[in-house]
Amino acid sequence: MSLQDQVIADFTQRFGASPDIVVRAPGRVNLIGEHTDYNEGFVMPLAIDRHTWIALRPRTDGTVFLHSMDHDESCTFDLEQLNKDKGWQEYPKSVAWALQDAGYPLTGWEGTTICDVPLGAGLSSSASYELAVAKAFAEVSGFPWDAPKMALISQLAENQWVGVNCGIMDQMISAVGQADHAVLIDCRSLDATPLPLPSGTSVVILDTATRRGLVDSAYNERRQQCEEAAAFFGVKMLRDVAMDQFAARAGELSDVTRRRARHVISENARTVAAAAAMKQGDAVALGRLMNESHDSLRDDFEVTNEELNVIVERSRNVEGCLGARMTGAGFGGCAVALVQTDHADAFVTAVTAAYHDGTGLRPSAYVCQASDGASVVTR
C-alpha cells in the first residue's frame, strides 16, 4: 500500500470519513552547492520521490489536531494560543506561528500525517514537513500559494521557533521542485532555474546508516567562520568574493578561516559550472565537479566523517559512477552519486557490498526520481 493510501486509510479510520484534502511535500538531495546557501550563494538540489503526506479536513474552532503515524502520537494546538514545547509537534506549530506572523489568517484543521523521508539523513525531512503543513494551511484557509514566499516563511519557522539556523535551500526545493529536473537556486534572489539531468544518467542516494552527531555546534561554528571571512573582505557574504580576490589576500587569513572561505568561494564557482554542464548535457563534467565538491568538503570545510568518505571512495571505484559526494550538512547521513543509468542497479549492489566490507555497516541505497514540489494530491 502506498503512503498516500496509508494516510488516507488512517484518516478514514480515525475520523470516520474520507479526507477532504491530501497534500504532499518532498524531501531533497543536493547534487552540488553545499554550505553555500547561508552564504547567499548557489545550490543545485532536486526534490526526491520521498515525501511528507497529510490527509486532512477543515475545522471551525481554530484548532489543529494532527496524528503522526510515524510517532504514533497526536497533538492538538489552538491557533490563538501557540506555546513552545518540545517534540515533532513543534514543526506544525512553528509553521502556524510563522504564517500568522506574516499576516495570514488561518483556519483550523484535523488530519493524519506520514513521512518516508529518512530522519537525520541530510535529506530535509523537516523542510518536507514544514512545506506540507504550509500547503495544508493554504488549502483550508484559502490564501494563494506563493512557493518562494512559503519557503521563506517555513525557513523562518525553523530558525526562530524550532531553533535550527538553516539556510533557505531545503525549504525552497521542497516548494519549487520540478519532476525530472534539478533546480539551480540563487539563495540571494531566490531565482530558480530547472535543469534536466543529463541523458542516460541516474541519481543514487547512499545512506551511510550513520546519523549526524556534532552537527548543531559544528554547523553554527562554520557559519561564524564564514561571517568572519566575509567581514575580512568587507562584503556582506562570501558569495560576493571572487576566487581571484580570495587568492590575492588568502595569506592574511588564519589557516582555518582561509580553508572555510576557500570551500565556499570555490563551491559557488563549481555549482555555476555544474549548471552550465547540465545545460550542455555534459555528465562527465558534472560528475567531476561533484567529486571536487566532496574533496573540498572533506579537506577545507571538514564536515565529512569516515563513513561518508568510505562510501564516496567506494562509489567512485564502481563501473558507471560519474561522480559522488556527501550531501547535506555532513558529519553522517547520506552521499549522492551520479551514475550511468544502464549501470545503476549493479552500482547499488556493488556499493552496498563494498561499503559493508569497509565499515561493517549496511547502507541503504536507491535510485531516486526528481519530483515536483509541494502540491495538492486530492481535493
Active-site residue list: 170
| Alpha-carbon distances of 18 from 13, 107, 361, rounded to whole Å | 9, 19, 42
Element of type H or E holding 213: none
Strands 181-186 and 192-196: antiparallel
In degrees and rounded to multiples of 5, residue 261 shows phi and psi of -65, -40
- Please, are residues 207 and 337 in contact by the beta-carbon 8 Å criterion? no
What grid cell was written down for 189?
A: 534572489
Distance separating alpha carbons of residues 190 and 169, to the nearest angstrom: 9
The beta strands (E) that lie in 273-363 are given as: 321-327, 334-340
Which has the closest alpha carbon to 174: 204, 151, 192, 194? 151
Burial label for 13, CB within 10 Å (0-12, 13-18, 19+), is exposed
